[in-house]
Each structure stands twice: as structure tokens, then as C-alpha cells.
Structure 1
Amino acid sequence: MSMLNTSDAHLPFPILIGDIGGTNARFSILPDASAEAINFPNVRTADFTTIDEAIRNGVLAKTDMRPRAAILAVAGPINGDEIPLTNCDWVVRPHTMIEVLGIEDVLVINDFEAQALAISSLGDGERELIGSASKEIVASRVVLGPGTGLGVGGLVHVQGGWIPVPGEGGHVDLGPRSKRDLEIFPYVETIEGRVSAEQILSGRGIVHLYRAICKADGIDPKYSDPADITSHALAGSDATAVETISLFSTYLGRLAGDLAMIFMTKGGVYLSGGISQKILPALRQPEFRAAFEDKAPHSHWLKAIPTYVVTHPLAALAGLSFYAREPARFGLSTEGRRWRS
């Protein structure tokens, strides 16, 4: 079997599209470049021993259409012919998929590359503007996704095309700035002595932040589930929960502003994932946008950059479909990540 390293070689249709997370896997089939994708019910990764079994039972058993190619977005490093996932026991083995499932061509990319591909073409009905900077510019962008962890992806606009940039931006340092931060941060759970952004800006991070606030204030925590903290915050029924999500929004704004400067993202910053959608009412409050813009001496530049929450329910699948239809629009590196029979 040979590996390809060019992004302009079209994959043969029909194409199986897959967004593989730690808990759920989402699949669709794209019949051809002009057709609408056929979506399938979410698959719980715990219900199947392997991804091949999940595809066979969750997709192929439900349609007569047989995909000739597959594009999969995975949360995990892609090094070699066996690709373990970060938060579940599945291992993606492209050679096995080709031999067992009859797929001719398999491309595997990072999950936040898929999110970056998505923000190249989302419409107004698939995102919500946060703040007043609404001028639409076709320029480089960045996407952040607080969820199980904190994903970050860049999307660089060059010579009329888009280059998705994967990375580990969720593991940059996040430090205190205000007097209140200095009271709270000594109690935030660290990893080998440091507070990475993911330690606060994620599902477990909401709990870390909430507990740190409780310790700083000398009170016993009531909640241990991020959903409980978030629901009480949005309902205004618990002062500590309210402060937790307010500070979460502030820290997310600070990091989003930092990434906007790093990537020169005049085309906007996008917040993806379930947490961003769940805390939309909090993100609409002044804290997020104020922290995003508070970047002296460049605050005037940040004020002009739009920020959005991605509301598309299947953004990663949409991004993979954008690429499948028009791969030549994207400078997507496929070296070491594409297998063909």
C-alpha cells in the first residue's frame, strides 16, 4: 500500500466522513461533491470494541451505499499505521479498514484541523457573533474548543486558499492577572507545578476553578459535576457557580485574544464545542469580549476582530465535507496520514 502526500488528489466518492471523539463518534457519507451528506446516529465508542465494528454496525448496516474512501478526524497523535485515541480504547488502523471494510483510500487528520476546516465556510446561521466587531474579512482565523480538553486550531489564509494548522494550544500556560486571580490561582490543581489553559478551560477545568474559588473563600464545595456548576451559574442560583463561569469566560477571552495576536486572525476567532454552546448566555456578557480586547498596546486592533460561537451541531463533519468536495482549496498536509490500497 502506498502513502500519498499531496492534498489536491481527490478521494474517490462516496466518502465516509467521521469525527471520532472520546465518548461519541459521528459519521456521515458524502455521495458526491455536489450532494448533501447523509448523517447517521451518533455512535457511543464504549458500545463497540473497535472503530471497524462501529462503522460496520453503525453505518454500513444502515445503508446500501458503500464508501470508497474515508476521512476521519481523531483526537490523538497520528504517528504511523496505528493511531490510538486519547480518551477511548479505539485504535485506528487504516490498513485494516482497507482490508476488512473494502475502503480504498483512508485519510486521518487531527480533530481540530477538522474544526479549522469548518470555520472556513460556516454561514451566519451556523455561528453566533459575540460582541460588536462584525466586519467580515476573508483572512486567517483560529478556533478554540473547550470540552473534555481544550483544542486549538489555526486556519491561515494564503494565496486564495486555506491552510489548517493543528497544535497543542490548550497546553500553554494560563496565569493570574487581577487581584482576584492571585487569590484563586494558588488553589488551582496543577500538572507538574504549572497551570495549563486546559486545567481551567475544559469540563474538568470548570470543576478545578470552582473548587479553587471555594478554597480561596473558605467554603465547602457543593458540586462536583461541571454541568451542575454551569446550570446553577446560568440560573443565578449559586454565587460561587456564577463567579466560576464568569471567570471561565474571562480566561477564555484572554486566551482567545492571545491566539488572535499569534495568528493575526483578522478573519475572526471561533469558539467551538459543547461547552461554548452551553455557556452562550455567559459569553454574551461583557467579560469575555472585554478580556479578549484588553491587549494593550494593541487593544484597538483586537476591537476590530470578530468573535463567534460555532452553533453548527456537526461542525467537524461539515469541515471534513468542505475538504472532501474541494481539496485544492486547502493546503492540508497528508504526508504520513493517507493510505491507499
Structure 2
Amino acid sequence: MHADNAVLGSIGRKRVCLALSTVNGSVLHETIRTYDAQVVNGVSAALTTFQRDLGISALPRRSAFSVPGLVRGDAISITKTSWFLSRSGLKAMLGEPPLVLNDFAAEAWALCAAEGQVREAFSGSNGSPAKRSGTFLVMGITSGLGVAAVHRSETGVVTVLPTEAGHGAFAAATPELTDLAASLSLGRQPVTAEGLVSAPGLLAIYNALSRQRGCLPRAKSPEEITRSMATDPIAHAACDLLAKAFWAQAGSLVMTLGAWDGLLVAGAVAHAILPSLRKPEAQALFANSIKYRRALSDVPRSLVSYENAELVGLGEALRHRWGHA
């Protein structure tokens, strides 16, 4: 093992994925190991198991980890778990301070390392920042709504801006979406973007539509809704509404973050509702601004996928941090 290797770790709510990287940040795919978060008792225990499974005498001193939620302070809480990731604890265990990123920021870094697989080009050319300069927006629709901005300078210097924009207010761009948001808020706090544009959001939309139509909901999970799009009219309508909500929010965030050079869409839910995302009436809400309609219409937009995105992104972030760019 080279002295400049690093250990990479994606710490999730349900699983922990660990790997080693090369000197230049590339993931050594043969070292990838995945552990059930219910079985391993914390990050340190997962690292000890990883070292034993690889049969190596010591782990690399350098490390990078991604976690869901806000990454601040020494002890970082892993969202919706009882786990904490301790920067000082990892430094004591491995020898150097770890790089810790928000999980979706790590995915955004992955786009700087590779083009990924473009499944659908909604508008213009592929907006990937892997080889182009500019400012890009990356959005992922999963169990939450991940949002990050990526800027690549003319000289190739990359900056990834992690955000918690999914927890910001939803941009209701039409009366239909305004009524939907109002029906979900029920007089409480305003609906967040993630409250609509996510897997739980899809289920909430589906249940709201079922109530409006006086029907008992047939689907009980987001997966059941997307699987029944072709046979359940309410499921079809829910996916269409989620697509409209997504494009409206995406257009608002492009203007907010100045990401005029491309939008990258990722996440299992986005892939599952692709037929709805393709619809012109949904995509029209991306350029809903009167003042910036032309500029928004020119923003390249693509649906992308890439394997082991968080690990790839962590390796790329480390590469830039240590001056191997």
C-alpha cells in the first residue's frame, strides 16, 4: 500500500460503504466493501472490520467521508440515526484530519471526475462539468432532495458548494402547485422543496390526490406508485405533479445559484419518473420566469447516473485538497 493511498467512506443511514483510493484519488474498486449499519457498531468499528477484511496491517492516514445532513463541527450527527462521526476521533485513529463532506456534495464532486452515463438530455448538450468551465447545478431526487452547485474555473480549479436547499421553501410556480402545497401544509409551516420533490413527497402527493378524488390509496410506498404509473391514474397524476414541482424548483435554484451552464439531475426517483419529467408541460415550468425565460431555456439539462458516486467524489475532492489536480 502506497503512503499516499486514502480510505474513503460513504456513511449512510442503512449502510456503510468503504474503499481505498490510489494516490491520484481513483477508487480501487476491488477494495469496495459494504456493511449493514445495523450490524457494525459505529464508524470506527466499520473501519476496523474493513481493515481486517482487506487483510492489511494498517489503514491509510488520509481519509474522506460523506454523511447525510449538515457537516459542521467536530462531532457530526448522521441524520436519522444514533451515530456520530468524530473528526478528532478519526484523526486519532488514522493519523491525519479527515475530509468530511455532505453526501450530495460528494456526488457533485463525482461529476468533476467523470462524465457519468447520460440517460436523457432534456435540453442542449450534456451539462456535465467534468471537462467544461462554468457554474452547474446538481440535483438528486431520492429519499430527500440533494442540491449542490459546482464551479469549474478556466484553469480547472473546482469548487463544490453544498447546500441544504431541499429544506428551503417550495417555489409554487402555478395555481395547481400552490393548491397542492396548501393541501399538504394544512395550515402548518410552509411546505419545503423536499416535502414535495422526494420519495416521501411523491407518497404525500399521491395520498393528497386520493383524498381529493374520494378514493382509498392503492399504493402504499413511493416504489409502488412509480411501478403502477401505467395502470393507476392517480399514480400517473402524482408522478406528473412531482415532475412539475421538480422543474419549477430547479428553475428557481438555477437563478438563485447562478448555475447558467448546466443542470444535472440524478437519483432513483428521477429515473423512475422519467416519462413525467420528459413532458413538455412539466419542463415548461423550468423557464417560468418572465425576465429570465430565454436564459433558462438555454440551460443544458441532463439526467445522469454513475456508479459508486459518493466514493468517486470523495476521491476527487481529496485529489484537489492535496494538490494532485
Q: TM-score range by the shorter chain?
A: 0.7 to 0.9
- CA 54–202 in structure 1, closer or farther in 2 if over 3 Å, else same: same
Matched, 1:245 2:242: no
Matched, 1:110 2:102: yes
Q: Which residue of 2 aligns with 1:143?
A: 138
Matched, 1:70 2:66: no
Give the whole-Å Cα distance in 2 for the aligned partners of 1:237 and 1:296: 37
Q: Which residue of 2 aligns with 1:211?
A: 207
- CA 245–162 in structure 1, closer or farther in 2 if over 3 Å, else same: same
Aligned-partner SS, 2:234:
helix
The amino acid of 2:6's aligned partner reads I
Point out where structure 2 has 5 or more consecutive residues left out of the alignment: none
Structure with the larger RCO, 1 or 2 (CA within 8 Å, 6+ apart): 1
1:269: how far off? 1.0
Aligned-partner SS, 1:18:
strand
Give the whole-Å Cα distance in 1 for the aligned partners of 2:136 and 2:113: 11
Matched, 1:315 2:309: yes
Give the whole-Å Cα distance in 2 for the aligned partners of 1:135 and 1:231: 28
The amino acid of 1:151's aligned partner reads G
Q: Residue 14 of structure 2 is aligned with which of 9, 23, 26?
A: 23
Q: TM-score, normalised by structure 1?
A: 0.83
- CA 33–44 in structure 1, closer or farther in 2 if over 3 Å, else same: same
The amino acid of 2:214's aligned partner reads G
- CA 328–267 in structure 1, closer or farther in 2 if over 3 Å, else same: farther
Deviations 1:271-306 (A, max 9, x none): 222222333343233344322233323221112111
> Percent identity between the aligned chains?
23
Matched, 1:81 2:74: yes
Give the whole-Å Cα distance in 1 for the aligned partners of 2:41 and 2:92: 18
The amino acid of 1:167's aligned partner reads T
Q: Which residue of 1 aligns with 2:226?
A: 230
- CA 325–294 in structure 1, closer or farther in 2 if over 3 Å, else same: same
- CA 70–34 in structure 1, closer or farther in 2 if over 3 Å, else same: closer
1:139: how far off? 0.8
Give the whole-Å Cα distance in 2 for the aligned partners of 1:224 and 1:191: 25
Q: Which residue of 2 aligns with 1:97?
A: 90
Q: Does structure 2 conserve the Cα–Cα contact (< 8 Å) formed by 1:18 and 1:317?
A: yes
1:72: how far off? 0.6
Matched, 1:132 2:126: no
- CA 147–168 in structure 1, closer or farther in 2 if over 3 Å, else same: same
Q: TM-score, normalised by structure 2?
A: 0.87
Stretches of 4+ aligned residues off by more than 4 angstroms: 328-331
Q: Does structure 1 conserve the Cα–Cα contact (< 8 Å) formed by 2:133 and 2:151?
A: no
The amino acid of 1:152's aligned partner reads V
